[in-house]
């Protein structure tokens, strides 16, 4: 299976630049420091010598970074034949044409291509999908290491070239080094390629490390989140909960304290409000030195405090994302804000992006009675959103019943609605503080309020579920959430890339193409030619036999008994229930594999042979998910006398939907434990399987193709 490519820190190990230095030593040090991809370039070196260098570099790399050979496909093939762990080639415009190169190196090799002129990029966009994996785009500046480069692009030219690249990943190259990551990232590059910055460095590992850090800072920075709220010395609520939440959700937490409280799990016994001038001094100190990426505002307490925060926000010029948790009503039901304070709060809401009231606070903000039903809560949330041009996170935690819905509501109604069962626990102290902080932190990372809300809510439900494992507070009190629940289980901070629902969104065009294909349209209508359906069944029978073996591999790799049993049962289902349908229609699992079937099965076998459980789960998931989604919709289109009603019923079966949901959940658990590099591999495998599903549906028997 083709290896995912991380272009962020790209070393061109140019033998002419290295001169007397040992290429393998430099490559080893650079990869130790964080180089993610290495291109070995020896334009003036004979094939025998270049092969020796490539093999030595492969041994030094030890499979860690992606390793490609510049130009020389013959050397790449010879290195592979010698057993070297080399991953592909990088070719130029005057080398072997990309389509021919792909035919020579095969489907699993990486191919990079130099392309920067409009003519180059026109040809790139015309290539069949999957021909090349990335583009080397430049030169950005003139460089002595490559005298045949075209006229330097500059940063604006680089941005134009990347925008014309047809969505292919691009690495910026040409005269680049330390200090260029921000401009390259702003131009749309996926990484920076360097030659002299590492090859001539006294410390290649240190040079690579600094380049990697520089790219990480601009491409995936840790956002700075400011919490403005009161304190809770017991750690369950207030800024203590805010800071723990921000850390757990991938941000760097800061705090300006509006009030000091004496409280524990039993209640609040005292409050001290520092002078307003000191609150303003805290806010000014932070703003004068630190970039603030998002702000969470909690307990304010008085009109003067609210006005101080409002005035400070207005003075920022550009206000970052603001999440306001309007602490207005005590647990006892007592109002915490007087009329003047409430009027000041309304002005602050006008500066917020999202407001997160509970039902009592929502009623106070809209001047109505406390909602007794979810529909009433949504109506009030929509009214508040319209009055202040703000998003409202409506929360159903205070409703009666076993369900606990939440929704992000705009002026036109719910943007997203999230359902789930109520989590039974008394330990919910700080829930509102934690949710609003998580939302601010995740918004700064994702830039998407809907997804940030989903991720924050999911994280919070995990923290509530784990709350009873803590032993904080005495009988009768309300204990805190477990803000470190994900860390304790080995999960990482919430990430979009770790959510299978996000993968599903990313393959929307592939799914639309499947729906628009004549196979699916004619199948739904019952007009699909019998010979084409028969061909599909023959190939599906071949596929299912091999797919069952792949699922058994997943069972062998599964970390828990539950997951082992699931994959084993799924493998058995392929061979029993589904194959019975195929046999009843005369499908022969001994037929010849089509090119489409062979390509799909090769991809799945490669995933299984990699012995990477998360990768394999991602690779097999589209066969569940796409078939379930398609099957349920096709089953709804079935009618009496439909020629393919039995097939439609199989994939529209509720049992298959339950299995699909379980497969998605298994993938979600695996993804949340994965490194960023592992997630990239999972998404690549999932996307590739989805593309192969599309090709599988589109295939035709040879007799139909020739007509």
When computed from its CA atoms, the radius of gyration of the chain, rounded to whole angstroms, is 29
Q: Which two tokens stand for residue 174?
A: 């040409």
The number of beta carbons lying within 10 Å of the beta carbon of residue 20 is: 4
Q: Was 41 annotated as part of a binding site?
A: yes
Q: Was 628 annotated as part of a binding site?
A: no
Measure the CA–CA gap between 478 and 270, rounded to whole angstroms. Answer: 18
Q: Was 525 annotated as part of a binding site?
A: no
Name the maximum alpha-carbon separation found in the chain. 86
Q: How far is CA 632 from CA 205, 625, 655, in A?
A: 54, 11, 11
Q: Which of 33, 138, 238, 395 is catalytic?
A: 395
Q: Is residue 526 among the annotated active site residues?
A: no
Q: Was 40 annotated as part of a binding site?
A: yes
Q: Was 70 annotated as part of a binding site?
A: yes
Q: Is residue 430 among the annotated active site residues?
A: yes
Measure the CA–CA gap between 74 and 86, rounded to whole angstroms. Answer: 13
Q: Which two tokens stand for residue 64?
A: 């860690």
Specify whether the CB–CB gap between 169 and 10 falls below 8 A.
no
Measure the CA–CA gap between 143 and 193, rounded to whole angstroms. Answer: 12
Q: Was 353 annotated as part of a binding site?
A: no
Q: Which two tokens stand for residue 624?
A: 């569940």
Among 84, 93, 90, CA closest to 56: 84
Q: Was 326 annotated as part of a binding site?
A: no
Q: Is residue 395 among the annotated active site residues?
A: yes
Q: Was 144 annotated as part of a binding site?
A: yes
Q: How far is CA 603 from CA 73, 454, 613, in A?
A: 23, 32, 15
Q: Was 143 annotated as part of a binding site?
A: yes
Among 127, 228, 211, 130, CA closest to 177: 211
Q: Which of 57, 170, 404, 433 is catalytic?
A: 433
Q: Was 236 annotated as part of a binding site?
A: no
Q: How far is CA 482 from CA 38, 241, 463, 492, 522, in A?
A: 43, 10, 5, 15, 53
Q: Which two tokens stand for residue 578?
A: 């589904």
Q: Is residue 694 among the annotated active site residues?
A: no
Q: Which of 430, 479, 652, 678 is catalytic?
A: 430
Among 703, 539, 681, 522, CA closest to 610: 681
Measure the CA–CA gap between 35 and 32, rounded to whole angstroms. Answer: 7
Q: Was 95 annotated as part of a binding site?
A: yes
Q: Was 39 annotated as part of a binding site?
A: yes
- List the end-to-end C-alpha distance of the chain, in Å, as a whole number: 34
Q: Is residue 308 among the annotated active site residues?
A: no
Q: Which of 138, 432, 479, 631 is catalytic?
A: 432
Q: Which of 245, 428, 650, 660 is catalytic?
A: 428
Q: Was 145 annotated as part of a binding site?
A: yes
Specify whether the CB–CB gap between 26 and 13 falls below 8 A.
yes
Query: Chain-centre distance of CA 358, in angstroms?
Result: 30
Q: Which of 36, 131, 310, 431 is catalytic?
A: 431
Measure the CA–CA gap between 257 and 272, rounded to whole angstroms. Answer: 11
Three-state SS for 14?
strand
Measure the CA–CA gap between 661 and 119, rounded to whole angstroms. Answer: 46
Q: Was 694 annotated as part of a binding site?
A: no
Catalytic residues: 395, 428, 430-433
The binding site for Mg(2+) consists of: 71, 95
The binding site consists of: 39-43, 70-71, 95, 114, 143-146, 175
């Amino acid at each position: 299976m083709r290896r995912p490519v991380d272009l962020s820190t790209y070393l061109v190990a140019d033998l002419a630049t290295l001169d007397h230095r040992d290429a393998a030593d430099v490559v080893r040090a650079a990869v130790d420091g964080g180089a993610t991809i290495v291109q070995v370039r020896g334009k003036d070196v004979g094939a025998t010598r270049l092969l020796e260098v490539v093999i030595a570099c492969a041994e030094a790399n030890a499979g860690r970074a992606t390793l490609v050979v510049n130009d020389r496909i013959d050397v790449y093939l010879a290195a592979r034949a010698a057993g070297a762990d080399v991953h592909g080639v990088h070719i130029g415009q005057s080398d072997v044409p990309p389509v021919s190169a792909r035919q020579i190196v095969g489907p699993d090799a990486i191919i990079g291509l130099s392309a920067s002129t409009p003519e180059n990029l026109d040809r790139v966009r015309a290539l069949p999908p999957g021909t090349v994996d990335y583009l080397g785009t430049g030169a950005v500046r003139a460089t002595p290491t490559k005298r045949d480069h075209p006229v330097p692009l500059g940063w604006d030219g680089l941005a134009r070239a990347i925008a014309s690249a047809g969505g292919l990943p691009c690495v910026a190259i040409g005269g680049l080094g330390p200090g260029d990551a921000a401009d390259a990232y702003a131009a749309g590059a996926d990484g920076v390629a360097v030659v002299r910055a590492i090859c001539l460095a006294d410390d290649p590992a240190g040079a690579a490390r600094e380049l990697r850090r520089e790219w990480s800072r601009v491409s995936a920075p840790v956002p700075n989140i400011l919490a403005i709220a009161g304190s809770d010395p017991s750690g369950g609520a207030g800024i203590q909960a805010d800071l723990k939440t921000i850390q757990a959700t991938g941000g760097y937490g800061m705090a300006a304290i509006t009030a000091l409280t004496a409280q524990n799990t039993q209640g609040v016994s005292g409050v001290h409000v520092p002078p307003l001038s000191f609150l303003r001094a805290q806010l000014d100190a932070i703003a004068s030195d630190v970039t603030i990426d998002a702000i969470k505002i909690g307990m304010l307490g008085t009109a003067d405090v609210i006005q101080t925060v409002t005035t400070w926000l207005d003075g920022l010029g550009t206000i970052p994302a603001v999440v306001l948790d309007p602490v207005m009503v005590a647990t006892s039901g007592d109002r915490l804000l007087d009329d003047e304070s409430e009027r000041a709060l309304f002005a602050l809401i006008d500066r917020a992006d999202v407001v997160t009231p509970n039902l009592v606070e929502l009623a106070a903000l809209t001047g109505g009675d406390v909602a007794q039903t979810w529909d009433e809560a949504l109506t009030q949330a929509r009214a508040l959103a319209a009055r202040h041009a703000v998003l409202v996170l409506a929360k159903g935690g205070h409703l009666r019943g076993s369900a606990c819905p939440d929704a992000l509501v705009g002026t036109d109604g719910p943007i997203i609605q999230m359902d789930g069962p109520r989590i039974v626990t008394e330990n919910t102290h700080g829930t509102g503080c934690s949710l609003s902080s998580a939302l601010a932190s995740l918004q700064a990372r994702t830039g998407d309020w809907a997804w940030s809300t989903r991720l924050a809510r999911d994280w919070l439900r995990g923290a509530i579920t784990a709350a009873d494992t803590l032993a904080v507070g005495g009988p009768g009190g309300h204990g805190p959430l477990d803000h470190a629940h994900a860390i304790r289980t080995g999960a990482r901070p919430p990430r979009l890339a770790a959510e299978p629902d996000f993968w599903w969104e990313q393959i929307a065009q592939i799914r639309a193409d499947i729906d628009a294909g004549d196979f699916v349209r004619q199948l739904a209508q019952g007009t699909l030619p019998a010979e084409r359906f028969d061909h599909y069944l023959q190939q599906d029978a071949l596929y299912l036999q091999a797919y069952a073996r792949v699922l058994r591999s997943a069972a062998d790799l599964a970390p828990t008994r539950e997951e082992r049993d699931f994959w084993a049962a799924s493998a058995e289902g392929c061979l029993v229930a589904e194959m019975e349908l195929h046999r009843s229609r005369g499908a022969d699992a001994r037929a010849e594999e089509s090119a489409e079937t062979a390509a799909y099965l090769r991809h799945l076998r490669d995933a299984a042979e990699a012995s990477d459980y998360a990768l394999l789960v991602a690779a097999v998931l589209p066969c569940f998910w796409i078939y379930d989604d398609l099957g349920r919709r096709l089953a709804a289109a079935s009618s009496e006398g439909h020629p393919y009603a039995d097939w439609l019923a199989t994939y529209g079966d509720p049992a298959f939907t339950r299995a699909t949901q379980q497969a998605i959940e298994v993938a979600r658990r695996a993804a949340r434990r994965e490194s960023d590099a592992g997630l990239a591999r999972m998404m690549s495998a999932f996307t590739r399987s989805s593309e192969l599903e599309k090709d599988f549906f589109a295939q035709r028997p040879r007799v139909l193709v020739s007509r």
